């Protein structure tokens, strides 16, 4: 009940926001995903290094809110050591859960992290000229302004 | 960790003297001001005193021109809907507002628009100042109300309101001003400004939350917003919030007395801060008018970083500031004020409002100047926009 | 002189624990609940707790069904105008109310009537209770809202609201209740009553003035009354009155805990007072239902005397009571509630409401019973109406 | 300025309310005035004794609010010792002034006292079959409800 009115971040989110893991670029990446829109205040750029079908490294650069930075950090942590197929199982829900939840108004930031990951994997397939099995999820909302539409007037 | 509060345009702590003035009205003097017996009379007298204190602060010619409301939002709603509904079907249905009004004005007008009123938004220049010719041109035969805020909550810009007052008077149109951010901070007189309706709120001037006032010039007839008992001479129903009203009165008295000293203090601190930021940090823009501004308010855009990330990071260092207005921080819309002054959205997203108060010290400003650059740098170091920009610079493209 | 306060339906002193709970939010924890930084989070958490406390008291299934307002009057205005304006042009424009509603409901409906809505006033019996058949008959295809208060502020009569709830549900009409006087005094559950909207106010239950709440059943869509920032999930704009909200929350918690003990205490004191008055004083009538009443409320008409003179005289003896509702005491209208239960105006003019509270003692009631007869006698001794009556009695005409 | 919002009684009013002078009836009066309306919550009955054109005694009985009782007391005090002609000079304004003012919403109670006095004097003339020089003032308001009409909505 309480969380419905809560617009606060969990301790886990704040940890990843203050000490984000895997910030930076990979010099010679296997795939790069670049999603978001500066007009809406968020851009996420995710780099993966794939060796023998396994993601051995992941890095990110993000322009965005606290949740965007924390989910970027979390998603890069989660993919490392996974096979590409396993990585495709990661969704905005699993990222959010790993962070101990996100305020309702910040859910779309976790969608962004899923998009960034999938688009990096997509890029990995394309660079290899392989058909991509990836379905990049659409952010359900077209406009930047997400809060209003969800709530009562 | 010591916290440095630099968000006084969002709200202020209650002044110790204000709190002391309020306390007796919770337990010993708890009467309902409408009661005939002694408890009621004590409450009534306290309200009378407060009404005079508020009238004094804004130069109203009679305390009967002041009604107490639940805050700035109610005052704005009351002024605008009250005018609209009392004039509709008679004089007209056209309202003119600035494009940088607080949501309490803007969304009220939007609501009225849905119900058949016509609303014109003026233009502002890059500092947020309206154009008087533009205003004159916007006036129609059906115009019933002009509402232009006195000082903006996000960027601090002060409007040439007395000029607006002259135009409104000449054309016989009611003028409302949302003076929530200017009352108590800068000198203000309802007659000099020529306003018919003025909104103010206690919690912005070291008074309590949940109480405000609406100035209604003698002879101005508008509909009530809250109907019920005969309170406030039939203009605002509801048992009077006596401790709140006493608090607003006391806060008004103190604001008047301390205004000059506070203005000087705040101006010198903000100038120091502004100069320091512009010296220490690259890619930063000041928003709002550099001189025609509230003495306590600064607004900057730090390019390539997002505002919420910046204020969260500062919060971790004990520095409390905000992005634009506190009311929109829950939402993801970029500020309509920054959009109106022409800031591109990606830059508007990196904006921070720093609003000082009477208790801030030079030491605190020094701490901010030491801390802010590294916080901005940390976020820029993870920003893809900054990386791209630096790459271009290295490639000699800029 | 010690004062005996017997006007708790007008307002109550703030409970010491409530005051203690509020105090930190004026100075140390003064943040704006919309702020992202730590001051804002502290305020937000306090509001979340209070919302649950209020939800608990009235049996709401989720705290999201509670919004905070500036008091009972705003809640009533919000519920009624919010429903009217959201339903108008769609479903219909007909509203049904009882004839003994508080002015906050009655005058709001009167205002809507002037703007094209149709309002039906039900009838009540001599105790002030509505007739369910009369209600059924009043319902039309265009009926959008029924508003019937739970317990009356002047005479204390409690309505058969659960029955009203059944009828409203069957006919698919929204039901609002002004429960300002019943919340916290008698057990109450929004689901059992079947209400969609419920108004309450803190200052009637030992909370602070200027804060109240509106219960809005999940899925009920009504227009906002105050437009502005995104507070209260876009349903009520305005910076949250954090200390007030905390106070309402705490008062709700205490009211729930102490309800049973208070009810017994108050019932026994009022029964003693009632018996004593009826024994000691001639020409007195009890108004309101003798059993279906609030445990703290009595209302009497003392024939041949005028109410204001009576309460002023009692005030001089340290006894604080009121005539009818505090809101009309400034006016000279006889109470519309007493008129609705069929009291002739000259008798209604001599009516006094005595409303007890948790701190009243048996000793105080004894003092009232010693004092009241002589006060009534003094005024009757100068009343021409009483003189005429005595003359007739002497002449054996009665 | 202050008094516009004040609904309180002056000390003088409270004195006369708590210790009203001249309560009662005159057994053999020279004139009686009976004004007001129980429906509106006020009745004032004023008795005068006139000897050689001089009011030697005055008494009242009043059903009404604090102001009604205080003005009754004051007006009976004021007329005693005055000639009938002098008594006719007394107006609701002079009674109110003598009481140190009245709240705006209570002004009509002082009108009632003027009406009661004038109607007693009128009665005195009529009992003597003399033409009455008295103009009994009308309460400006026809209904009982006076407060609302005066004020803003
Ligand atoms: C300019 C302006 N107008 C109106 C308001 C609303 O006032 P309140 O918070 O008292 O409802 C605020 C502050 O929130 C404001 O800054
Ligand atoms: C039944 C009832 N409804 C509404 C109100 C209004 O509440 P508030 O005084 O909080 O505006 C009151 C009290 O004044 C009341 O008794
Ligand atoms: S990045 Fe869009 S709000 Fe989080
Ligand atoms: S007698 Fe009518 S109010 Fe005073």
D132 has pLDDT over 80: yes
C391 in contact with D at a CB cutoff of 8 Å?
A: no
Ligand number, closest to the Cα atom of B203:
1
D141 has pLDDT over 70: no
The response to whether residue A64 sits with its C-beta less than 6 Å from ligand 3 reads yes
Q: Are the C-beta atoms of C255 and C61 separated by less than 8 Å? A: no
Phi-psi region of C342 (alpha: psi -120 to 50; beta: other; left: phi over 0): left
Chains A and B touch (3+ CB pairs under 8 A): yes
Contacts of C312 in chain B (CB under 8 A): 36-37
- Of these residues, D26, D67, D70, D109, which one is catalytic? D109
ipTM of the prediction: 0.92
Residue A146's pLDDT is what? Answer: 42
Chains that touch A (3 or more CB pairs under 8 A): B, C
- Of these residues, A109, A112, A120, A134, which one is catalytic? A109
DSSP C166-226: HHHHHHT-EEEEE-TTTTTTS---HHHHT-SEEEEEGGGTTS-TT-EEEEE-TT-----SS
- Please name each of the domains of chain D with its CATH number: 10-150 (3.90.1010.10)
Alpha-carbon span C66 to C214, nearest angstrom: 6
Contacts of B104 in chain C (CB under 8 A): 226-229, 237-238
Alpha-carbon span D63 to D41, nearest angstrom: 7
* Alpha-carbon gap: B200 to the closest alpha carbon of chain A (Å): 25
D121-135: average pLDDT: 93
* Alpha-carbon gap: D67 to the closest alpha carbon of chain C (Å): 8
Per residue of chain C (398 residues), what is the pLDDT tens digit?
Answer: 789 999 999 999 999 999 999 999 999 999 999 998 999 999 999 999 999 999 999 999 999 999 999 999 999 999 999 999 998 767 799 999 999 999 999 999 999 999 999 999 999 999 999 999 999 999 999 999 999 999 999 999 999 999 999 999 999 999 999 999 999 999 999 999 999 999 999 999 999 999 999 999 999 999 999 999 989 999 999 999 999 999 999 999 999 999 999 999 999 999 999 999 999 999 999 999 999 999 999 999 999 999 999 999 999 999 999 986 433 334 456 789 999 999 998 899 999 999 999 999 999 999 999 999 999 999 999 999 999 999 999 998 76
Residue A153's pLDDT is what? Answer: 39
Higher local confidence (pLDDT), B57 or A134 = B57
Distances C73 to C55, C99, C106 between C-alpha atoms, Å:
19, 17, 11
* Alpha-carbon gap: B260 to the closest alpha carbon of chain D (Å): 28
Query: Active site includes A40?
Result: yes
- Is residue D59 packed enough to be buried (19+ CB in 10 Å), middle (13-18) or exposed (0-12)? buried
Distances C18 to B246, C202, C215 between C-alpha atoms, Å:
19, 11, 21
pLDDT in tens, D84-104: 999 999 999 999 999 999 988
Alpha-carbon span C354 to C356, nearest angstrom: 7
Under the banding of pLDDT at 50, 70 and 90, the label for residue D151 is: very low
Q: How many A from CA of D92 to the centre of ligand 4?
A: 13
Closest partner residue to B333 (CB to CB) among A14, A38, A145 is A145
pTM: 0.94
Contacts of A145 in chain B (CB under 8 A): 331-333
Residue D138's pLDDT is what? Answer: 67
- Is residue B98 packed enough to be buried (19+ CB in 10 Å), middle (13-18) or exposed (0-12)? buried
Alpha-helical runs (H) found in chain D: 11-18, 66-79, 84-87, 92-98, 107-127, 147-150
Under the banding of pLDDT at 50, 70 and 90, the label for residue D69 is: very high
Residues with CB under 6 A from ligand 4: C 332; D 41-42, 64-65, 67-68, 106, 109
Under the banding of pLDDT at 50, 70 and 90, the label for residue D144 is: low
Mean pLDDT, chain D, integer = 86
B333 in contact with A at a CB cutoff of 8 Å?
A: yes
What values do phi and psi take at B199, rounded to 5?
-100, 140
pLDDT-above-70 percentage for chain D: 85
Alpha-carbon span D10 to D99, nearest angstrom: 7
Question: For A21, which DSSP code?
Answer: S
pLDDT in tens, C253-291: 999 999 999 999 999 999 999 999 999 999 999 999 999
Residue C1's pLDDT is what? Answer: 77
Residue A40's pLDDT is what? Answer: 81
pLDDT in tens, C317-345: 999 999 864 333 344 567 899 999 999 98
* C116: three-class secondary structure by DSSP: coil
Ligand number, closest to the Cα atom of B71:
1
Residue C326's pLDDT is what? Answer: 37
Q: How many A from CA of B126 to the centre of ligand 1?
A: 23
Per residue of chain B (398 residues), what is the pLDDT tens digit?
Answer: 789 999 999 999 999 999 999 999 999 999 999 998 999 999 999 999 999 999 999 999 999 999 999 999 999 999 999 999 998 767 799 999 999 999 999 999 999 999 999 999 999 999 999 999 999 999 999 999 999 999 999 999 999 999 999 999 999 999 999 999 999 999 999 999 999 999 999 999 999 999 999 999 999 999 999 999 989 999 999 999 999 999 999 999 999 999 999 999 999 999 999 999 999 999 999 999 999 999 999 999 999 999 999 999 999 999 999 986 433 334 456 789 999 999 998 899 999 999 999 999 999 999 999 999 999 999 999 999 999 999 999 998 76
The angle subtended at Cα C199 by Cα C193 and Cα C203, nearest 5°, is 125
Q: Among all residues of chain A, which has the CA nearest to that of C230?
A: A148
- Please name each of the domains of chain C with its CATH number: 4-9+259-394 (3.90.1150.10), 16-255 (3.40.640.10)
Residue D2's pLDDT is what? Answer: 33
Residue C214's pLDDT is what? Answer: 98
Q: Are the C-beta atoms of A34 and A45 separated by less than 8 Å? A: yes
Q: How many A from CA of B108 to the centre of ligand 3?
A: 27
Contacts of A8 in chain B (CB under 8 A): none
CA-CA-CA-CA dihedral for C188, C193, C199, C202, to nearest 10: 0
Under the banding of pLDDT at 50, 70 and 90, the label for residue A81 is: very high
Closest partner residue to D151 (CB to CB) among B62, B221, B233 is B233
Alpha-carbon span C339 to C122, nearest angstrom: 13
Closest by CA position to D7, among listed C159, B233, C315: B233
CA torsion sign for B123, B125, B131, B137 is: negative
Closest partner residue to A64 (CB to CB) among B306, B313, B386 is B306
């Amino acid at each position: 009940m309480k969380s419905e009115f809560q617009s606060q971040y969990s301790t886990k989110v704040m940890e990843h926001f203050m000490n984000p893991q895997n910030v930076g670029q990979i010099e010679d990446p296997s795939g790069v995903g670049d999603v978001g829109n500066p007009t809406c205040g968020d851009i996420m750029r995710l780099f993966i290094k794939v060796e023998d079908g396994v993601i051995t490294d992941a890095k990110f650069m993000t322009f965005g809110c606290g949740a965007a930075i924390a989910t970027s950090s979390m998603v890069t942590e989660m993919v490392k050591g996974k096979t590409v197929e396993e990585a495709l199982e990661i969704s905005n829900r699993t990222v959010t859960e790993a962070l101990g939840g996100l305020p309702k108004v910040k859910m779309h930031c976790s969608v962004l992290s899923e998009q960034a990951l999938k688009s990096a994997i997509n890029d990995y397939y394309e660079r290899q000229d392989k058909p991509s099995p990836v379905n990049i999820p659409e952010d359900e909302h077209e406009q930047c302004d997400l809060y209003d539409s969800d709530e009562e007037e | 960790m010591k916290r440095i509060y630099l968000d006084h345009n969002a709200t202020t702590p209650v002044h110790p003297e204000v709190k002391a003035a309020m306390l007796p009205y919770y337990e010993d003097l708890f009467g309902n001001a409408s009661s005939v017996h002694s408890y009621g009379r004590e409450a009534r007298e306290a309200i009378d005193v407060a009404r005079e204190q508020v009238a004094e602060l804004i130069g109203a010619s009679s305390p009967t021109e002041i009604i107490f409301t639940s805050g700035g939002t109610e005052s704005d709603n009351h002024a605008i809907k009250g005018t609209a509904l009392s004039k509709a079907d008679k004089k007209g249905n056209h309202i003119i507002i600035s494009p940088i009004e607080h949501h309490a004005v803007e969304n009220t007008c939007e609501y009225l628009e849905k119900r058949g009123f016509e609303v014109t938004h003026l233009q502002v220049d890059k500092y947020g100042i309206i154009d008087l010719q533009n205003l004159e041109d916007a006036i129609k035969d059906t115009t019933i109300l002009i509402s232009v805020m006195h000082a903006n909550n996000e960027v601090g810009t002060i409007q040439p309101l007395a000029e607006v007052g002259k135009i409104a008077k000449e054309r016989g149109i009611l003028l409302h001003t949302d003076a929530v951010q200017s009352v108590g901070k800068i000198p203000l007189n309802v007659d000099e400004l020529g306003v018919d309706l003025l909104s103010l709120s206690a919690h912005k001037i070291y008074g309590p939350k949940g109480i405000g006032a609406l100035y209604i010039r003698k002879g101005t007839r508008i509909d009530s917003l809250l109907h019920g008992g005969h309170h406030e001479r039939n203009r605002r129903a509801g048992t009077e919030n006596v401790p709140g009203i006493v608090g607003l009165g006391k806060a008004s008295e103190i604001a008047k007395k301390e205004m000059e000293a506070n203005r000087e203090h705040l101006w010198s601190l903000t100038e120091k801060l502004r100069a320091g930021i512009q010296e220490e940090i690259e890619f930063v823009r000041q928003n709002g008018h550099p001189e025609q501004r509230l003495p306590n308010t600064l607004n900057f855009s730090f390019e390539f970083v997002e505002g919420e990330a910046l204020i969260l990071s500062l919060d971790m260092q004990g520095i409390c500031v905000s992005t634009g207005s506190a009311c929109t921080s829950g939402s993801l819309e970029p500020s309509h004020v920054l959009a109106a002054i022409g800031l591109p959205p990606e830059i508007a997203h990196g904006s921070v409002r720093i609003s000082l108060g009477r208790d801030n010290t030079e030491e605190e400003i020094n701490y901010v100047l030491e801390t802010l650059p590294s916080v901005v740098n940390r976020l820029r170091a993870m920003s893809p926009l900054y990386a791209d920009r630096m790459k271009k610079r290295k490639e000699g493209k800029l």
